[in-house]
A and B are shown apart, each in its own frame.
Chain A
Amino acid sequence: MSLTREEIRVPEFKGCRQRPVLRQRGQHEVFCGLTGIMWLHRKIQDAFFLIVGSRTCAHLMQSAAGVMIFAEPRFGTAILEEKDLAGLADMNDELDVVVERLLERRPEIRLLFLVGSCPSEVIKLDLSRAAHRLSKIHSPGVRILNYSGSGIETTFTQGEDACLASLVPNLPPEPEGAPASLMVVGALSDVVEDQFARIFEQLGIGPVRFLPARLADDMPAVGENTVFILAQPFLSDTARALEAAGARMLPAPFPLGANGTTEWFRVAAEAFGVEPSLFDTVTQAPRMRAQRAVENHRKRLEGCSIFFFPDSQLEIPLARFLHQELGMIPSEIGTPYLNTKFMAPELDALPQNVVVSEGQDVDVQLDRCLSERPDIAVCGLGLANPLEVKGITTKWSIELVFTPIQGYEQAGDLAELFARPLNRRTRLEV
């Protein structure tokens, strides 16, 4: 079934945008946007991410990666040296040489991202010009794009936003007279993507494409007939870029948990005029499965309080899922950056007395957490063990980014991620 642009119903974003927010300004204990490379390079399988930065950037990547499992990873750092900064070497020439060697060594690479860092931003190294220049040299075999993952501009998952936004202007245009198509935006693990594709097919929605695609040459087309739906909450720049390319955005909650996933699909289904009865038939079985799987963890989680340190920007949708479907009680929900428009549908599902905090002053926030003594705290790797020592059970937020958690079949796994640390606590007698 193919529809025209006019047949697609795109509703407005709704929801309260006036909730009080605790704004904090102090030490931020979060990763920078470079960290997104960790999952993006797994997703786009013929892309290479070349950070133009310092030894710190290189060290961050390898520390966050934890294990050095790849013979030659598809990311690396062009480390700036004294002579580059002193102007003794022309940085553009140097970069050209690095890129040339790299591409020679890795002939399978089709897409190269030059990723800006704090040092490259501060010295105002123009990577977009460099990308342009290098693209000319290496096209058509390799496309070269750039974005910034610097810590002075991006926080953790915002790196993915910047990366995807850089892809948008280079997406192929829709062919003349193309039918209305749906684009799902945000890196999902392959297993989730395949599940989503099957459900869309059963709903008769199509064509459906995913951004990013698994290969550089398979990136979806964009244009006036494209409507898109976000699968990840941290993609505001990407959304803006897609809108600039003519696409229209569907306002939806995020596909976490049985409800979240259902509402997410419902928005798409309504836009594409899917019969409610068909929608129910298609979603009922997986939905019930998800509910059952989530229900298994209710006993452990219901009534437990939860405190989110700001990290991945998944905090608000996660809190909504844990509150709505498992009866957990969020005490503070920290987020590095609050997009009130995207988050409105999520925030509406949360109790009024929850503290929503934006930004961070880590020492003060730790004090709050320790005085509230939540049953579980969601935090970054640097904070987890020190909190455990003080008797607070923790869940590392980075696992929520690396693990497939979206969709029906993963709803139980998502609940389990929170149940496991509590479960472990009750087992240990030492």
Chain B
Amino acid sequence: MKLSLWTYEGPPHVGAMRIATAMTDLHYVLHAPQGDTYADLLFTMIERRKHRPPVTYTTFQARDLGADTSQLFMDAARDAQARFKPAAMIVGASCTGELIQDDPGGLSRTLGLPIPVIPLELPSYSKKENWGASETFYQVVRALAPQGAERMQAKDAGPSCNILGPTALGFRHRDDVTEIVGLLEKIGVTVNVVAPLDASVHDILALRQADFNVLLYPEIALTAAQWLKRTFGQPFTRKIPIGVSATRDFVREVLDVAGIEDADPIDQIESRLPWYSRSIDSTYLTGKRVFLFGDASHVIAMARVAKTEMGFEIVGMGSYSREFARDMREAAAAYGLEALITEDYLEVEEQIRSLQPELVLGTQMERHISKRLGIPCAVISAPVHVQDYPARYSPFMGFEGANVLFDTLVHPLTMGLEEHLLNMFRDDFEFNDEAGPSHLGHASNNERQKSLEKLQHGEPTQGQNGEGKIEWQPDAERELKKIPFFVRGKARRNTEKFAAELGLAEISMETLYEAKSHFSR
């Protein structure tokens, strides 16, 4: 038994829903109670999909438990097939369905439905959403792909590949696919099938016709890619094209796997990131201390971007993807760090609090943590929220993706010039130290706690983390003014933070220099 307040991943059957919903003619019959239908809103509200997910829930009730829940399942499966006429069906149970042990796979076999029915075993009490998506995609591929026709390739046709991994409810999957399909075509590779996003059952049959696979999201498609390699000898790519250098590496890998030997065409493909990063306005980005958390692939890729393409300093990184913990640990070790592998957001919050980064790259969860701690944050990974489905084209992958990344990472930070002005006019009434970047809202405070305390004790209490007034002694204040204006604001904040941590009520000249040495570690 494990206490969970917020979770990074849903149960494994939600992963299966992401596969079914991604595809065009696959239906999912799920043995589950009525409350589990909440999962529909993830797709219709958060992702703004126009159709209900292709999922039939049996919605058994307590009174059915004594009677015949297997009959209920069979009726639901038969009705779903008749009503929706899918090309294939996946069947399984949610956590409660698993406990009543009705064997959806076996039951649907007895129905003799005129379509392929693929049973899923997704252990709800040990596995999670990404694993469920991965397992489902693998089972679908394994059941259907061998039935497809073998390749009848015209001699002069160029190399072709499949793109594996994009799903419904994925983080920027829709735009990543567009970007990568364009990139592959530019370098002379034909895209045979993209799956599971927008793929039909027929497309799955055609997977084996490609020369190789592009593995975009290992969390979802690694297992399927490995199986395709074993079964049909299709190699697959491992580079994740996030950032300029990684995209170049990816292109090189694709050319290599595809056996294209012509002149390197990637020099012609421009991204604005390198120049934007080198332009002097970006100098203020230098050495910004960054903490990253999210799914392993995005965090590993983004750490490289942060360090080598933005000039940031990585102070901590981690992931909730236990399945990819080893990759994560290796990547972190390369920066001299120890990866934080956890599903407990309180641990993540604790680490952010103690590291005090200047920028957090994380999930929606870290966005909320950062908001509370008053640290700028950009979302780089699932779990997602409605704002992670922007109306505009905004891939994370490929060269256009790199442009998006530059904007995404810079946006939460105080603009370079703006920061200088803030410091120069610090004493001006409109430009005080407390003014954050003008384009961001104010950090939230903990209203709930205060109102509760008021209710219980009749009196509000002081904020604990240094919001109380700390006095500057006159000599310390004078000393502070000698510090160059463009770092003065930071020095003041750091000193006050340092004093608050020590519980000091006053800042002396000594405190100022103690703080300076503390923060220049």
Residues of chain A contacted by B7 (CB below 8 angstroms): 55, 58-59, 62
Does A253 interact with chain B (Cβ within 8 Å)? no
Q: Knowing A46-B452, A59-B11 are in contact, say whether A118-B96 is a contact too (CB < 8 A).
A: yes
**Contact string against A for B residues 442-462, beta-carbon threshold 8 Å, 1 for contact and 0 otherwise:** 000010110111011000000
Q: Most A CB atoms within 10 A — which of B4, B14, B58, B346?
A: B4
**Could you tell me if A152 and B38 are in contact, using CB atoms closer than 8 angstroms?**
no
**Contact string against B for A residues 58-85, beta-carbon threshold 8 Å, 1 for contact and 0 otherwise:** 1110111001111111011111111011
**Could you tell me if B4 and A121 are in contact, using CB atoms closer than 8 angstroms?**
no
A396's nearest neighbour on chain B, judged by CB, is B45
Interchain residue pairs with CB less than 8 A apart (9): A28-B34, A68-B368, A72-B346, A77-B4, A98-B2, A118-B33, A118-B35, A119-B96, A152-B65
Residues of chain B contacted by A91 (CB below 8 angstroms): 1
Does A386 interact with chain B (Cβ within 8 Å)? yes
CA distance A81 to B446 in the complex (A): 33
**Contact string against A for B residues 77-115, beta-carbon threshold 8 Å, 1 for contact and 0 otherwise:** 000000100000000001110011000000000000000
**Contact string against A for B residues 218-261, beta-carbon threshold 8 Å, 1 for contact and 0 otherwise:** 00000000000000000000000000000000000000000000
Residues of chain B contacted by A35 (CB below 8 angstroms): 35, 38
Partner of A56, one of B11, B50, B385: B11
Does A27 interact with chain B (Cβ within 8 Å)? yes
**Could you tell me if A123 and B5 are in contact, using CB atoms closer than 8 angstroms?**
no
Residues of chain B contacted by A53 (CB below 8 angstroms): 95
Does B469 interact with chain A (Cβ within 8 Å)? no
Q: Knowing A59-B10, A122-B99, A151-B33 are in contact, say whether A78-B61 is a contact too (CB < 8 A).
A: no
CA distance A118 to B58 in the complex (A): 14
Q: Of the listed stretches A15-23, A271-279, A376-384, name the one at the interface; the rest are far from the partner chain.
A: A376-384
CA distance A78 to B36 in the complex (A): 18
**Could you tell me if A32 and B33 are in contact, using CB atoms closer than 8 angstroms?**
yes
Q: Knowing A54-B124, A118-B33 are in contact, say whether A382-B2 is a contact too (CB < 8 A).
A: no
Does B412 interact with chain A (Cβ within 8 Å)? no
CA distance A148 to B382 in the complex (A): 31
**Could you tell me if B452 and A85 are in contact, using CB atoms closer than 8 angstroms?**
no
**Could you tell me if A151 and B35 are in contact, using CB atoms closer than 8 angstroms?**
yes
**Could you tell me if A81 and B2 are in contact, using CB atoms closer than 8 angstroms?**
yes
B365's nearest neighbour on chain A, judged by CB, is A68
CA distance A270 to B13 in the complex (A): 54
CA distance A59 to B62 in the complex (A): 22
**Could you tell me if A381 and B33 are in contact, using CB atoms closer than 8 angstroms?**
no
Q: Knowing A32-B35, A59-B10 are in contact, say whether A81-B125 is a contact too (CB < 8 A).
A: yes
B125's nearest neighbour on chain A, judged by CB, is A82
B33's nearest neighbour on chain A, judged by CB, is A151
Residues of chain A contacted by B58 (CB below 8 angstroms): 27
Does A29 interact with chain B (Cβ within 8 Å)? yes
Does A397 interact with chain B (Cβ within 8 Å)? no
Does B57 interact with chain A (Cβ within 8 Å)? yes
Does B51 interact with chain A (Cβ within 8 Å)? yes
**Could you tell me if A63 and B42 are in contact, using CB atoms closer than 8 angstroms?**
yes
**Could you tell me if B96 and A385 are in contact, using CB atoms closer than 8 angstroms?**
no
CB distance from A213 to the nearest CB of B (A): 11
**Could you tell me if A67 and B125 are in contact, using CB atoms closer than 8 angstroms?**
no
Does A241 interact with chain B (Cβ within 8 Å)? no
Partner of A55, one of B5, B42, B95: B95
CB distance from A38 to the nearest CB of B (A): 12
CB distance from B11 to the nearest CB of A (A): 4
CB distance from A383 to the nearest CB of B (A): 7
**Could you tell me if A385 and B48 are in contact, using CB atoms closer than 8 angstroms?**
yes
**Contact string against A for B residues 28-56, beta-carbon threshold 8 Å, 1 for contact and 0 otherwise:** 00000111111111101100111110001
Does B200 interact with chain A (Cβ within 8 Å)? no
**Could you tell me if A31 and B38 are in contact, using CB atoms closer than 8 angstroms?**
yes
**Could you tell me if A152 and B60 are in contact, using CB atoms closer than 8 angstroms?**
yes
CA distance A152 to B61 in the complex (A): 4
Residues of chain B contacted by A121 (CB below 8 angstroms): 62
**Could you tell me if A56 and B452 are in contact, using CB atoms closer than 8 angstroms?**
no
Residues of chain A contacted by B4 (CB below 8 angstroms): 55, 58, 76-79
Residues of chain A contacted by B2 (CB below 8 angstroms): 78-79, 81, 98
Q: Knowing A27-B56, A27-B76, A28-B59 are in contact, say whether A76-B11 is a contact too (CB < 8 A).
A: no
CB proximity to B under 8 Å, residues A372-430: 380-386, 389
Partner of B34, one of A98, A122, A155: A155
